[in-house]
Amino acid sequence: MTGAAPLYLDHAATSPARPEVREAMEPYLAGVYGNPSSHHTVGEAAASALEESRARVARVLGMRAGDIVFTAGGTEANNLAIKGIVLAGLERGRRHVVTSPIEHESVLESAEYLRRFHGVRVTHLAVDSAGRVDAATLRAAIADDTALVTLGHANNEIGTVQDAASLAAVAHDAGVPLHLDAVQSAGWLSLAGLGADAISIAGHKLGAPKGIGALAVRGRVPLEPLLHGGGQERGRRSGTENVAGAVGLATALELAESERDSVAARVGAACSRFIAGVLWAIPQTALTGEPVNRLPATASFTFAGTSGEAVLLELERRGVISSSGSACAAGSDEPSHVLLACGIPAEVAQTSVRFTFGRDPLPDDAPERLAALVADAVRAVSRP
């Protein structure tokens, strides 16, 4: 791989826009440019494309078209779900949120905002060493005034997949809505039929551009808008809609769903070979997260006796692009809060490196060659 184009293994951070998505979006960037709220033929053409995209996204998520709120991405979708549902519940005396300590920053910071400015109690469920949330632990945490349970369907750093259906059953038994952050799992796992009341997705993880996402929230769930103005998105998210982005998101989501079973099997097999190669070649390595119930494209390791950042630099010199965890904690050199919550010591957590594969096929021998490059990079920076 050295000397060739870099091998990009940071698709959990972002993926390139697919050609089919760019082609589908192009007419709405120039030709069908109207404001979908305008009552003339140009605006109505844009509105028609927007509503068609809404219905397409809803079909994949197992929701109704009216449940879909287009957003600027996953962070906004998570903020709208958590703040919107909890703020709407305050007048009914619902002042409690249940989440976990391994969630994306947009989830944790939304809950923290509610705690600081609205006096909402926040419970962070304990997770086990693989980052799993136990249904019994969730059941014990729900109180009479719980407004929302908000959890990640699959973790963005370690790839652990939660038993969403079981967690939804617990929440519903208590009469509490469940929000799933499905930004990482969309396109890799089925999202329909899980029982979630709200689901967040982001286009740029799926092959759509950055700047478009969606929150699917069932109509029976009260939602306070965060953006006020012209009342777009059925009053739940004001602002002129990104029509081209919505078309792109719908196209990318449909493509990923149509290929999901075959692509997940192929990528999962390659990723498993890569994991086995790394664990065999580097004795001080540990795989983080659930070893079986994990995203098929995610492999995250700690390399004891190294610095994760040093390993990343060595890998880039060898033509491999990866990351040390979430790309959303800008400029942070602190150990991963996900790994700390899983019980990994801080000094070990700082050695973590995450590899996330894309959907395109790789050469047959790529997993083994990649594992060898990782081993070389780790040996180059290992402390004696």
Active site residues: 328
Is 152 in contact with 105 (CB distance < 8 Å)?
no
Query: What is the rounded CA–CA span in Å between residue 121 and residue 83?
Result: 13
CB-side neighbour CA atoms (13 Å) of 325: 26
What CA–CA distance (Å, rounded) separates 331 from 169?
Answer: 38
CB proximity list for 195: less than 8 A, separation 6 or greater: 164, 165, 168, 169, 172, 178
How far the first Cα of the chain sits from its last, in Å, is: 28
How far apart CA 307 and CA 300 sit, in angstroms, is 14
CA distance 2 to 124: 44
Contact assessment for residue 305 and residue 351, using Cβ atoms and an 8 Å cutoff: yes
What is the rounded distance in angstroms from the CA atom of residue 206 to the CA atom of residue 204?
5
Residue for token digits 């047959």? 364
CA atoms within 13 A on the CB side of 302: 21
Give the whole-angstrom CA distance, residue 238 versus residue 224. Answer: 12
Q: Are 219 and 227 in contact (CB under 8 A)?
A: no
Q: Count of CB atoms within 10 A of residue 51's CB?
A: 15
